[in-house]
Structure 1
Amino acid sequence: MKYIGEHLLPGQLGHFLVVLSLVASLVACIAYFKASNATLLPDHESWRKLARIAFLVNAGSVLATFSILFFVIANHFHEYFYAWNHSDLSLNPKYLLSSIWEGQEGAFLLWTLWQSVLGILLIATAKKWEAPVMTVMSFAQFCLATLIIGVYVFDLKVGSSPFLLTRHQFQDAPIFQGENYLSLPKIHNGNGLNQLLQNYWMVIHPPVLFLGYASTIVPFAYAIAGLWKKDFGGWAKQALPWSLFSGAIFGLGIMMGAAWAYESLTFGGYWAWDPVENASLVPWLVMVAGIHTQVIYNSTGHSLRATNTFFVLSFLLVLYSTYLTRSGDLQDTSVHAFVDSGMNWQMRIWVLIFVIGSLTLLITRYKKIPHIAKEEEFSSREFWMFIGSLVLFLSAMAIIIPTSFPIINKLFGTNLVIGEDKEFPYNRIQIFVAVVIGILTAISQYLKYKNTSRAYFTKKLLWATLISLVASVSISYFGHINYNKYGVGFLAAIHLALFASVYAVIANAGYIFTGLHGKLKSAGASVAHLGFGLLLVGILISSSKKEVLSVNTFNPLNFGPDKPKEGFENLTLFRGIKTDMGAYWATYVKDSTNGKMTWFQVDMERKDGKDKFTLYPDLIKNTKGQEGMSNNPDSRHYLHKDIFSYVNHASSVQEGADTSQFKNHVVKTGDTVFYSEGYMILDSVTVNPHNEKYKFTGKDTALMANLTVITRDQQKLTAKPVFYVRDNAAQYMLDTLYSQGLAIGLTRIADDKHLEISVKESSKLAPFLALKILQFPFINLVWLGTLLMIAGFVMSLVRRVKLL
């Protein structure tokens, strides 16, 4: 059957280019391997020339494949399953790129593209190391190509193609029996992009993070090349700029993810020890450990074995983390893990090949790696740098093991769990890591290589230590750092970590002027350490002083004992009603809907009149993934704090009509009427009430019931419904308690002693929203510290390149 409107050429060309990239990467791998083992120069040059051509063909094919996939998505060619499944016609054009890396195939293609770019740079710069290093790189390209080739070998599917046709994905679906299926709304409109990815951070965060992933293979490849060619340390100086680049770009990618989480996820922060977050952090920590031991080796000859080990493990942990987050094993424990795509067996094979191959080479050659038998001096810089690297490695292990519980449980049938509190098991360990690393980053640069005299060390560091002690104690005391959720022991650890972090900032700032005499070209390490200390200060203050502003003791969305915490931290705002929120007044002004997204305008005003601003959090209707609505927070940024808000629920997005009915109760004075969340008592009856609300006179016929409403949390409210006669017709006025979802009416007079009270319970009596607002003090220190840390990496990178 010939289908109307299909564009088959892009897919056919894409399939061809994927196959070409696979073949070219395999040819490059074999040719580079031959060049590495060639004993004669002409043979080496011949094989290397072929390998270069093959790798450039691979790189060009990957770039063209990526471009075609973007072309297919941007033009909404929904005959391709990938375009249909990850985008739709209503998608904002700036999120079309995000559609590429929402799926597994696009993410692996992005990874391959970055490795292609890095490979080309290595061809230009690796010199004598080109052949062995590029052998590893080309093999990695081949492995990634198999994940997106999408072919069957007998009955075994190898990879998953991003150019699979939608009608092939759903072969038996009746919708594809007609030749004009592309005009049908379900196909024509598209399935859409996950709402959590519709944020500008998700346009730039994944490319940077995947460049970080890809970059870890370069130090790994150099280490493997050194072990393979038995030139164990000859690569270390040349590879240092690459490891610094990897540390910088990987760290930047991780913190971009933290910024995305802060702006798009509703856990109220930038880090929640989510398994996918952990999977990125762990290899970065090991990479940073390797950078420090690499510097040690280049300066003293110590720690070459550790450097090889850390760089090998860093890349292997990237592979393991990739499998962990993309196998589907974490889909129940992480908000942004992938589901099982059917490529698990391939990912397992490639992880095992790299693990078995590299660790076997490392173990068999380990004793042959040169090392200095004499131990480092206790007072030397290299000793404490090594201790710091070891602490970073142990920190990584303390994170990856609990994160791997789902894998461990699957393999061994265990039932290991972290517990209901997902954060504290990590925090109680990492707080002490922060203490150790903070102090070491403060003192290490004041130490000299080989040996340092006590008098020199004390003289140089004394003032920085005293100033740090005074500054940290002042912050703890005057800043009221009294986070006591986990007891006095953890609070003491916070104060100790705060001192260590402030110490890192002041000591490194001091070293730039006293140790380096203001020579910023040589201050990369100090700037990076200063930034890291500032990052820790920001984390400690913003987390321990995080304050819930939307304090509320009752909430119609969270009645009862089931969700007391949520009920306490979510403020119910009724549209147009100015509501007390502690230090602020909050007013839900209006909402507006644009397709799937609903924005809410909430005006905030400090009670002292010093500040007014407006927040615009929104809800997006989920079209894929979890049902219901996704929350996009909004923040008000100040130099010294952020006010962070998100909507948990709103009546305007509730589906269906209000079907609640009035229930009638005949009562007399003193009687009680129960409702689901409390009860009410008829206290008295007023004839012809005349007050601010009602203006009846002695000529009218009106009765007002005076009711006291007792809520579940023992709050006392009043309701005053009215029954009256006008134009010989009985009428009544309801009184509404929006906070309880109650409409109460006095609907008739039963006899001379009894009245009929009608009660309706509904969450749709008035437009409302449930809003949570948090205040993060000094959170900008987190972002400033990140920028300074990355700047320090870049400064060191530039300096090391110049020294080559």
Structure 2
Amino acid sequence: MAFLATLVSAGLYLYASWPPRSAVLARKSGSESGKRAELVYPARFAFIVSALMLLAASAQLMLLLLKHDFSYSYVVSYSSRDLPLVYLISSFWAGQEGTFLLWAVLVAIIGIWVFKTAGDFEPPVMFFTALTNIALISLMLVRSPFALVPGEPPLDGQGLNPLLQDPWMAVHPPVLFLGFAAVTVPFAYAMAALWRNDYSVWARRVSPWAALSFAALGAGISLGGYWAYTVLGWGGFWGWDPVENSSLVPWLTITAALHALFVVRTKGTWQKTALALCIVTFVLVFYSTFLTRSGVLSNFSVHSFTDMGINTHLVAWLVFFTVISAVGFLIRLKHIPTSRRPLANSGGHSQQAVGRESAESRRAGVTLESAMYWGVLALILLAVLVLAGTSAPLITGGLAAVRRWVPWLAVLPESASNVGTAYYARVSTPLAVLMVLLIAAVPILAWKPLGSKQVFRRLRVPLAVAAAVGIVAALWGVRHPALLALVAFAALALTANAAVVLRAPRKAHRLGSYITHVGVGILLIGAVISTMYGSTTRLVLPLGKAKRFGEYSVTYMGMENPPSGKPRMKIVFAERNGRSFEATPLVYPNSRGEYMTEPYVRKYILHDLYVSATGPPQSSGGGRRLVLGRGETQEVAGYRVRFERFVAGSMTGDLIQVGVRLLVSRGGHSEVLTPMLSVDKDSRRTVTPASTKDGALQFSILGISATDAAVMLAVSGKGVGGEAVEVAGVDLSTKPLINFVWLGTVLILIGGLLSVYRRGKELRSLELTAAALAKPSSEGGRVRSVSVRRGAV
């Protein structure tokens, strides 16, 4: 029903939009206008019916989850009877089918809001909005969330992935998909402007939605980063994972689009750039959906879905939207205006004299528009480079396929491969330096014309702060020139924009961009310092025996198994001043017998103490315990033991085997040992030890941490010694200035929401003004004179 109603709505809106013509020509044809009015109301009705059907489907799926109706495959796959209510609700969007339904519902709700405010643009805008939902609903027809379980329904479900049972991950998907849904509106308006060849109002109407897309996508990415930091245990918030990047790239392009739309509104230029960016962002959202849900990244990303039979349909829709967008843009390219006349009196950047650059600035070629140009270019270039790295498995896989068909092309890769984090660091750092320099310049360029002495006087404090921060960072240990420049210039951007905010605190709703720029500066400082200059120490803690870590005495006190919750270690940190606290990192087996870990984070103002278990604690009748990360070497009883890699064994439905390849050396002799660990379908564990040829040492696997790529081994034999003891392996890390990352993120989002509010308010003001101008006065029907408030978009 929802698919049919959306199809009818799209057809009616398309017919109401045909033939493509501008608003001026449409108003000259009274009969044509009447025909369109007759079609718009049934089109609206069909769209509302579609929205109601999608809401009903969502309510039904939620009810099935809450009732534990395990006759449905989706309920079995993502829920169980023991799930708390909040995670039972979040299992709605735990799988592909549920997220597609959530996405379609959000598009439908946004569409109802749009058709009430689109005016003359309603038919083409709503046609492209309905077309988006046709694509999403068609994917659910292929892979339905209401598919029944074949045969007898199970008594319980498989449950939600333990790592997803976290409050931050419960809200991350809805926020991210709100951003995906909101991106539809800029796309629909851009395509409608091309359809009608009318570029007079689209930028003003689309700006609030572009700001909402920026805020929602940014919030979704931030929630995912915070979840990774507090749950996954590897100590970071951003790993340049292809799935992470697939959301970052549309966020970069919609950020560039926001800046381009600002220039369109104030200067009347950059129409082509703004149109292209709004369209490309939408296409990139579908491309990211293909990357994450087609299974093409399953060997390269820990977040990727496996192929669930929708590849062909995803590719078809991606190609369809790409082709119609490209063709429409190219057909209208020569007709898109390039006039420098402002479209409306915008009142400038936060009401501060946009375009009133000084003669000195114009002679030097430095204007607000030129700063915007370089900023947008940097954002686009960063998006392209990140997209290239993210698509590397797809690109290299395609080239490898060509090589298999044409063997003599030996220069092509043999198999699909991914780029490392070093690639992203190399390409993003110089562009980030350029962007923070431009961000620092924006407040100066937005001020009234100033002489060179006045400019220096205004910049004196920001430059002094930047120099001081640079010196402190260098003393702290930041030696890399690019990173040192990034920290110093981020401080310059922070200070310059904070000065504007502090001068006008009562006009915060007009200062969204400045607040966002302050957040960018704070975030970059925190990201560089916390990522590059933290420290990590691995300790093996015997039960009840203290070890020293910096200013702390650290003692492992055993395991706690709460009746409701996950097993956790109890580790006491005692400070020299007599104070102490307990750290409780989680360590528990998943359904496949692998041990999962979740860290404990102790927050301070200027740093975090990050405590993560390397695996489960072990107890035995003697011998030694080794905790080895991949590539790490330790010595025991005169032998050097190196953990090289994991080795996959049997992976049937009833048995999972995994081993570790050890290189054991003594003197000039080396040998390879592979102890194995097996887990059957009932989670029973079987250990197969491996011994050296001389029988001196025997190695057994005690635990494996997949997230940390680490193994805990029991070593017994001649000369090993040891007494019965329980030991726990932990990684202790300090994360300096990590709270700057979270503070910067919050400020960026606050700035984005303020921009949504401001652009929406200004658009409403413009609509009221237009309505008043169109209303005839009582004197001969002449139009009344209405002054337009400065600042309307």
Q: Which residue number in structure 1 is paired with residue 543 of structure 2? A: 575
Q: Which residue number in structure 1 is paired with residue 486 of structure 2? A: 497
Q: Which residue number in structure 2 is paired with residue 424 of structure 1? A: 422
Describe how 1:468-547 pairs up with structure 2 within 5 A: 468-478=465-475, 480-482=476-478, 491-513=480-502, 519-547=507-535
Residue 127 of structure 1 and its aligned partner are, at CA, apart by 2.0
Number of residue-to-residue matches in the alignment: 643
User: 1:472–1:499: 8 Å Cα contact kept in structure 2?
Assistant: yes
Q: 1:128 aligns with which of 98, 120, 145?
A: 120
The amino acid across from 2:53 in the alignment is: S
After TM superposition, the score normalised by the length of structure 1 is 0.75
Residue 611 of structure 1 and its aligned partner are, at CA, apart by 4.4
Counterpart-to-counterpart distance in 2, 1:113 and 1:346: 20
Q: Which residue number in structure 2 is paired with residue 27 of structure 1? A: 8
Counterpart-to-counterpart distance in 2, 1:661 and 1:591: 21
Q: Which residue number in structure 2 is paired with residue 411 of structure 1? A: 398
The amino acid across from 1:407 in the alignment is: L
Counterpart-to-counterpart distance in 2, 1:635 and 1:399: 30
Residue 796 of structure 1 and its aligned partner are, at CA, apart by 2.1
Alignment CA distance shift 1:460-1:571 (3 Å): same
The amino acid across from 1:58 in the alignment is: S
Alignment CA distance shift 1:580-1:218 (3 Å): same
1:216 aligns with 2:183: yes
Structure 1 window deviating more from structure 2 (630-639 vs 585-594): it is: 585-594
Residue 268 of structure 1 and its aligned partner are, at CA, apart by 0.9
Q: Which residue number in structure 1 is paired with residue 770 of structure 2? A: none
1:196 aligns with 2:163: yes
Q: Which residue number in structure 1 is paired with residue 732 of structure 2? A: 773
Q: 1:112 aligns with which of 83, 104, 109?
A: 104
Describe how 1:358-757 pairs up with structure 2 within 5 A: 358-372=325-339, 378-413=365-400, 414-415=412-413, 422-448=420-446, 455=452, 458-459=455-456, 461-478=458-475, 480-482=476-478, 491-513=480-502, 519-548=507-536, 550=537, 570-593=538-561, 594=563, 597-606=566-575, 608-609=576-577, 611-623=579-591, 628-651=594-617, 677-679=636-638
Describe how 1:90-109 pairs up with structure 2 within 5 A: 90-109=82-101
User: 1:202–1:260: 8 Å Cα contact kept in structure 2?
Assistant: yes
1:56 aligns with 2:48: yes
Query: What is the CA deviation profile of residues 484-517 of structure 1, one whole-angstrom value per residue up to 9, with x for unaligned ones?
Result: xxxx6xx111110001110111000112355x58
Residue 422 of structure 1 and its aligned partner are, at CA, apart by 2.6
1:37 aligns with 2:21: no
Counterpart-to-counterpart distance in 1, 2:50 and 2:377: 39
1:143 aligns with 2:135: yes
Q: Which residue number in structure 1 is paired with residue 766 of structure 2? A: none
Give secondary structure in 1 for the equivalent of 2:547. strand
Alignment CA distance shift 1:209-1:517 (3 Å): closer
Give secondary structure in 2 for the equivalent of 1:773. strand
User: 1:464–1:510: 8 Å Cα contact kept in structure 2?
Assistant: no
Q: Which residue number in structure 2 is paired with residue 683 of structure 1? A: none
Counterpart-to-counterpart distance in 2, 1:296 and 1:676: 64
Residue 213 of structure 1 and its aligned partner are, at CA, apart by 1.2
User: 2:65–2:79: 8 Å Cα contact kept in structure 1?
Assistant: yes
- Structure 2 residue runs of 5 or longer lacking an equivalent are 20-25, 27-31, 342-354, 356-361, 401-411, 625-633, 640-664, 668-701, 703-711, 764-793
User: 1:578–1:586: 8 Å Cα contact kept in structure 2?
Assistant: yes
The amino acid across from 1:86 in the alignment is: Y
Query: What is the CA deviation profile of residues 644-663 of structure 1, one whole-angstrom value per residue up to 9, with x for unaligned ones?
Result: 121121135x9xxx79999x
Residue 297 of structure 1 and its aligned partner are, at CA, apart by 1.1
Counterpart-to-counterpart distance in 2, 1:279 and 1:260: 17
Query: What is the CA deviation profile of residues 636-679 of structure 1, one whole-angstrom value per residue up to 9, with x for unaligned ones?
Result: 11122111121121135x9xxx79999xxxxxxxxxxxx99324
- Structure 1 residue runs of 5 or longer lacking an equivalent are 1-19, 150-158, 168-175, 483-487, 551-569, 663-674, 681-710, 714-737, 745-757
Residue 473 of structure 1 and its aligned partner are, at CA, apart by 2.5
Residue 199 of structure 1 and its aligned partner are, at CA, apart by 1.1
1:351 aligns with 2:351: no
Alignment CA distance shift 1:195-1:285 (3 Å): same
Residue 31 of structure 1 and its aligned partner are, at CA, apart by 1.1
Residue 760 of structure 1 and its aligned partner are, at CA, apart by 7.2
User: 1:248–1:793: 8 Å Cα contact kept in structure 2?
Assistant: yes
Give secondary structure in 1 for the equivalent of 2:413. coil
Give secondary structure in 1 for the equivalent of 2:158. coil
Counterpart-to-counterpart distance in 2, 1:416 and 1:537: 40
Residue 616 of structure 1 and its aligned partner are, at CA, apart by 1.1
Give secondary structure in 2 for the equivalent of 1:189. coil
Counterpart-to-counterpart distance in 2, 1:467 and 1:459: 11
The amino acid across from 2:282 in the alignment is: F
Counterpart-to-counterpart distance in 2, 1:58 and 1:578: 64
Counterpart-to-counterpart distance in 1, 2:615 and 2:44: 57
Residue 474 of structure 1 and its aligned partner are, at CA, apart by 3.7
Residue 712 of structure 1 and its aligned partner are, at CA, apart by 8.4
Counterpart-to-counterpart distance in 2, 1:199 and 1:546: 26
Residue 580 of structure 1 and its aligned partner are, at CA, apart by 2.3
Q: Which residue number in structure 2 is paired with residue 255 of structure 1? A: 222
Residue 632 of structure 1 and its aligned partner are, at CA, apart by 1.4
1:797 aligns with 2:785: no
The amino acid across from 2:227 in the alignment is: W
Give secondary structure in 2 for the equivalent of 1:635. strand
Give secondary structure in 2 for the equivalent of 1:623. coil
Counterpart-to-counterpart distance in 2, 1:765 and 1:659: 4
Counterpart-to-counterpart distance in 2, 1:661 and 1:640: 41
User: 1:597–1:621: 8 Å Cα contact kept in structure 2?
Assistant: no
The amino acid across from 1:767 in the alignment is: E
Counterpart-to-counterpart distance in 1, 2:758 and 2:200: 20
User: 1:24–1:54: 8 Å Cα contact kept in structure 2?
Assistant: yes
Counterpart-to-counterpart distance in 1, 2:157 and 2:466: 59
- Runs of 4+, deviation exceeding 4 Å: 416-421, 451-454, 658-662, 738-744, 758-762
Alignment CA distance shift 1:205-1:591 (3 Å): same
User: 1:574–1:766: 8 Å Cα contact kept in structure 2?
Assistant: yes
Give secondary structure in 2 for the equivalent of 1:341. coil
Identity among equivalent positions (%) equals: 31
After TM superposition, the score normalised by the length of structure 2 is 0.76
Residue 373 of structure 1 and its aligned partner are, at CA, apart by 7.8
